A and B are shown apart, each in its own frame.
Chain A
Amino acid sequence: MTVLPSTQIVIGPNASMTARAACILMAAASSASLSIAALFAIRGFWPVLPFAGLELAALAAAIWVSLRRNRYQEVIRFDAQMLHIECGVRGHGVHLRIDWPRSSTRVMCEPPTRLNDPIQLQLVNAGCAIQLAACLTDEDKLKLATRLRELIHPGWISAPSTSSRVVSADFNI
Chain B
Amino acid sequence: MRWIKTTNHKDLGTLYLWFSFAMFFVGGLMSLVIRAELFQPGLQFIDPEFYNQMITLHALVMIFGGVMPAFVGLANWMVPMMIGCSDLALPRVNNWGFWILPFAFAMLLSTLFLPGGGPAGGWTLYPPLVLQGGASFPLTIFAIHMLGISSITGAINIVVTIMNMRAPGMTLLKMPLFVWTWLITAYLLIAVMPVLAGAVTMLLTDKYFGTSFFNAAGGGDPVMFEHIFWFFGHPEVYIMILPAFGIISTIIPTFARKQLFGYSSMVYATASIAFLSFIVWAHHMFTVGIPLAGELFFMFSTMLIAVPTGVKVFNWLATMWRGSMTFETPMLFAIGFVFLFTIGGFSGIMLALAPVDFQYHNSYFVVAHFHYVLVPGAIFSIIGGIYYWIPKWTGVMYNETLGKWHFWLSAIFINITFFPQHFVGLAGMPRRIPDYAVQFTDFNQISTIGAFLYFIAQFLMVYNFLRCALFRKGMAPAKAVVWEGAHGLEWTVPSPAPYHTFEDPPHVGDDETAHAH
Residues of A that sit less than 8 Å from B by CB = 1, 14-17, 21-22, 25, 28-29, 32-33, 36-37, 40, 43-45, 47-52, 54-56, 58-59, 62-63, 65-67, 70, 115-116, 137-140, 143
From B5, B159, B202, B213, give the contact of A116 (CB < 8 A): B5
Known: A33-B191, A139-B500. Contact between A25 and B163, CB under 8 A? Answer: yes
Chain A: minimal CB distance from B336 (Å): 34
Chain B minimum-CB-distance residue to A43: B224
The CA of A56 and the CA of B89, in the complex, are separated in Å by: 17
Specify which of A15, A25, A40, A143 is in contact with B503 (CB 8 Å cutoff): A143
- CB contact list, B321-376 vs A, under 8 A: none
Find the A residue at minimum CB distance from B7: A116
Residue from A14, A21, A36, A70 within 8 A of B85 (CB atoms) = A14
Label chain A's interface by main secondary structure.
helix
> In whole angstroms, how far apart are the Cα atoms of A94 and B500 in the complex?
31
The answer to whether A116 and B2 have CB atoms under 8 Å apart is yes
Known pairs A36-B231, A40-B195, A139-B503. 7 more at Cβ < 8 A?
A16-B163, A16-B164, A33-B194, A47-B213, A51-B197, A67-B164, A116-B5
Residue pair B503, A62 in contact (C-beta under 8 Å): no
In the complex, the answer to whether B170 meets A51 with C-beta atoms within 8 Å is: no
Residue of B nearest to A41 (CB): B198
Asked whether A59 lies within 8 Å of B165 as measured between CB atoms, the reply is no
- Least distance between B227 CB and chain A CB atoms (Å): 9
**A59-B156, A137-B86 given as contacts; is B190 within 8 A of A16 (CB)?**
no
B156 touches A58 (CB 8 A): yes
| A58 to B417 Cα, complex, angstroms | 43
Instruction: Give B contacts to A, CB under 8 Å.
Output: 1-2, 5-7, 85-86, 89-90, 93, 152-153, 156-157, 159-160, 163-168, 170, 187, 190-195, 197-199, 201-202, 205, 213, 224, 228, 231, 278, 500, 503-505
Which of B7, B156, B190, B505 touches A33 (beta carbons < 8 Å)? Answer: B190
Residues of chain A within 8 A of B1, CB atoms compared: 115
Among B170, B195, B213, contact of A44 (Cβ-Cβ < 8 Å): B213
**B8 closest partner in A (C-beta):** A116
By beta carbon, the residue of chain B nearest A37 is: B194
Contacts of B157 in A (CB 8 A): 62
